Amino acid sequence: MLLENDHQIYDNWIMQVILSTMAEGVLVIDRNSYIIRVNRAAENIFMQRQNVLLYRQLQDTTANQDITRLVNEVLNKGKEIFQEIMMIPTRQLYRVHGAPIKNSYGIVQGAVVIFYDVTEIRDFAQVRSEFVGNVSHELRTPLTSIKGFVETLLDGAMENSAICRRFLTIIDDESERLSRLIDDLLTLSSLETNEKISRLKPVCIAKSMRNVMNILGPQISEKKLQVEFIYSRSLPYIKADEDLLGQVLINLLDNAIKYTPPNGKIVIRSKRDESRVMTTFTDTGMGIPEESLTRVFERFYRVDKARSRRHGGTGLGLSIVKHIVESHGGEVFVNSEFGKGSTFGVGFLVV
């Protein structure tokens, strides 16, 4: 049987175990704003060890005035407070819950402050909002164009065969653009809901690349481009889903074709780099400004929006590439010098 003192020791030990295993940061503060208990998660939030935080006033341990004000309000008013607070310099966003500790007479003796990390939730909400906005815009643009030309035809323009043919050609182009956008959205959605690729097998990337060059041969010929594929005969097989690999190579070569001027050159290289086969696509286009390099794989991001739409781009091709490659355990990268061209690269694991 445990004695009263043993019960107290046991209860303290249980409390310490619970606090140390919590993902949320916890501070217990007395009525004079001194920290009297802190858990490991709170140490990480404040980037200070427990022995530095304990028995010091809160305002002496952090420069964040929002936290100090919240605690002072809880202690002075004896009410629960919820507030979102950004921690500097980590830029982590926390939903902070401050609750008073009262004695049996209702007098405030201290406060418990709990930090819930909501950074990912807020980032996801922002990404989702931007995605919905972008999709709406991308769908509205061709639909508005189609509706406008149809209305013009119905108002009498169809009586002129030349104008009618020109308008119908534009409507057909816009319909095709809508179809590509929907196809890319469905592809991206499918990839995101099936993170694990199940149809992995040994694939010859050189064979896949030659097939893609044949598929895009008409576009290459139309712009009179010189496309060179350099690879070693001893290139090892990679572990990949052959269909998805083909989609990656098509998107990257198609991207290079679109942004390389007529009579330009595209050089494709595949070579082994330790445990991976790296394939790069180097074009002689206008290149990408330095400030855009970190964003080119984002959904709907376009360096030159007008030019991308003119070439029929959906703004999703490179996002699809990144998702496919990373779901294979590979990597994507881009290097560019504005005015001189770009190099996009992907790496797949060797079998």
290 within 8 A of 338, measured Cβ to Cβ:
yes
Q: What sign for the dihedral angle of Cα 113, 114, 117, 121?
A: negative
Reading the chain (351 residues) residue by residue, the pLDDT tens digits are 444 555 566 566 666 677 778 889 999 999 999 999 999 999 999 999 988 999 999 999 998 999 999 999 999 999 999 999 999 888 899 999 999 999 999 999 999 999 999 988 887 777 677 667 777 777 787 888 888 889 888 888 888 888 898 899 889 888 888 887 888 788 777 776 665 566 789 999 999 999 999 999 999 999 999 999 999 989 999 999 998 999 999 999 999 999 999 999 999 999 999 899 999 999 999 899 888 888 888 887 877 655 555 555 677 889 889 989 998 999 999 999 888 899 999 999 998
**What are the structural domains of the chain?**
4-117 (3.30.450.20), 126-193 (1.10.287.130), 196-351 (3.30.565.10)
φ/ψ of residue 212, rounded to 5: -65, -40
Question: Of the candidates 114, 133, 106, 102, which has an alpha carbon nearest to the alpha carbon of residue 37?
Answer: 114
- On whether the CB atoms of residues 346 and 248 are closer than 8 A, the answer is yes
Mapping DSSP onto H, E and C, the string for 254-323 reads HHHHHHCCCCCEEEEEEEEECCEEEEEEEECCCCCCHHHCCCCCCCCCCCCHHHHHHCCCCCCHHHHHHH
Tell me what pLDDT residue 292 has: 87
Q: What is the pLDDT of residue 181?
A: 82
Report the predicted TM-score, pTM, of the whole model to 2 decimal places: 0.59
pLDDT for res 145:
85
Where would I find the H helices in 199-239?
205-215, 217-222
